[in-house]
Structure formats: structure tokens, C-alpha cells
Amino acid sequence: MNEFDPREYWEGRLSRSYTLGDVGWLGLGTGLNGWMYRVRRRVFLQALQPLIENPAQARVLDVGSGTGFYVERWHDLGVPAVTGSDLTQTAVDQLAGRHPSDRFTRFDVGSEELPFELGSFDAVSAMDVLFHIMDDDRFARAFQNISTLLRPGGLFVFSENCLHDRRLQTKNWTSRRLADIEAVVADAGLEIVERRPMFVLLNAPVDSHSRALNASWRLLTRLARTRNALGAVVGAALYPLELALVSRLREGPSTELVICRRRGSGRFAAAAADAAVRGR
């Protein structure tokens, strides 16, 4: 049996097609994926807006940039230039053409080689990236790498499924237990200041045993796979309810957004500490 090669997998996947539907949930089309990314956009901006006090001077690294969705979100927050990275050369080449004011580098966040100066970033994002690291040692090294790239007090924002009672794994993603993620975060010299749901209805409820929630997700994906336009209609109908749910719930049944800071003092440390107090 051949060992799974993540770079080969993603090079092949992105070289065939390069849309949000290809970096998002494969098979659900651009219709439903488009609404899922609208939810991601709202959650990301609402969480980060209070923490970025001087975006015009912020030095930001986006890990696993893919099609550049979160590079654009950092621009929405007022960051003029972003350093992006991706495991694949396909994405790096495409991103360089789409975002000429930004800089892009091929980077495996779980490797032992760092192409950036240590302590050179005020914030790092790794959205829908880390659960694709199958090996636990490389997963831990990714957090250690990011911590060393952050200046003291710098922010690290990532998305994870943060399961409470089990670990799930497929060929190309691993959903780890919240306790295990928290341990890796702490070992890397980071501390979690906020954790909030990114989805309730518009993503797989991997952290829920609710029959109704799981049945609704199966129905939604069946409709999206039947016809792209149908997925778009259902996504649009659920979008307002989804935003209301993710803004009110403290725990989610699916992917969550996690914000950490590197221990120490720095530009964002006070803002991150305030966010931690507000979240209690």
C-alpha cells in the first residue's frame, strides 16, 4: 500500500481545478461551498477585527493559502501586504499572479525547515490546514514552527474540529481531541485566548451525536451533489440562521476558530488578553 503523500495529493487536486470548491468540501460544488466560505469570512473578520490595533503596520503570514481566501480577509482587515505560503507550487504560482502586492513561498508548516526569519510576524493564520497534517509529530512541530515565527505577544489563528470525546481520521484529514490540541498549543509556548464555532449547520457535525443534526447534514450534502444550483439555494436559505447560531453558541458541533497568542509582551498581547477576559 502506497503511503499518502499530502503534497502530491494537493498538487494534483489544485492543478486540475483552482476554485473554492476545490479547496473546500470536495464534491459539494461552488454553490454550497460559496455559502460556507461566506460564513467563514464573517466569523474570521468578527473575531480578528478587535485584536488588530494597527493593521497598516502588521506583518502577517498566512499558512496554506490555497486560492488566497484568507489573504483577502487580512486585506479586509486593513493589512496592506501579506506573506502567503502553501504546500504546493501550483498554489504559489497562482497566488503570485492574483496578488502581486503580496509575497508567496512554498512552505510545509510541519517540516524542520523555516524559510522565514524567526519572530518576524505579528500574526499567523492557518485556516482549514492543520487537520490535514496526519502525523502527530509533524502536527506538534507545526505549532512549534509558528510559535517561533511569531514575535512575543503575536497572534495565531487557526481552525480545528476540537473533538471532545473521540478522534476521527480519513485518508487526508485527522480530527483530534480538544485536550490533545490544547496540550500541543501549550507545549509550543502559546496560549488560547478565544475559541468560537465557525459552523453549526453548514458543515459536517463531527463533534455531535445528534441524529437530527447529522441527518440534516446528510440531506444537505445530497442536495448539493445532485445539483450545484440547489446547493446554492439551500446555502443561501440557511445562511442567516447559521450566522445567528455561530454568534450565540459557545461550543459548536463542527469546525471552530481558535485564537492563540505567543506568551510574552508585544503589540497584540493586551488586545488578546482583553479578548480572553471577554470570553470568560
Quote the CA–CA distance of 80 and 102 in Å, as a whole number. Answer: 8
Q: Is the pLDDT of residue 214 over 60?
A: yes
DSSP string, 72-96: HHHHHTT-S-EEEEES-HHHHHHHH
At 13 the pLDDT is 72
pLDDT classification of 30: cutoffs 50, 70, 90: confident
How many CB atoms are located within 10 Å of the residue 48 CB?
Answer: 23
Going along the chain from its start, the domains and CATH numbers come out as 6-279 (3.40.50.150)
pLDDT classification of 1: cutoffs 50, 70, 90: very low
Measured between alpha carbons, how far is residue 256 from residues 13, 21, 44, 113, 204 in Å? 25, 20, 10, 28, 12
pLDDT classification of 54: cutoffs 50, 70, 90: very high
Q: Is the pLDDT of residue 277 over 50?
A: no
At 279 the pLDDT is 43
At 272 the pLDDT is 42
Selection from 123, 80, 87, 122 nearest residue 103 by Cα = 80
Q: What is the mean pLDDT of residues 248-268?
A: 85
**What average pLDDT does the structure give for the chain?**
89
Q: What is the mean pLDDT of residues 149-161?
A: 97
Q: Which residues have a Cβ under 8 Å from the Cβ of 72 and sit 6 or more positions away?
A: none
Q: Is the pLDDT of residue 274 over 50?
A: no
Q: Is the pLDDT of residue 276 over 50?
A: no
Quote the CA–CA distance of 131 and 146 in Å, as a whole number. Answer: 15
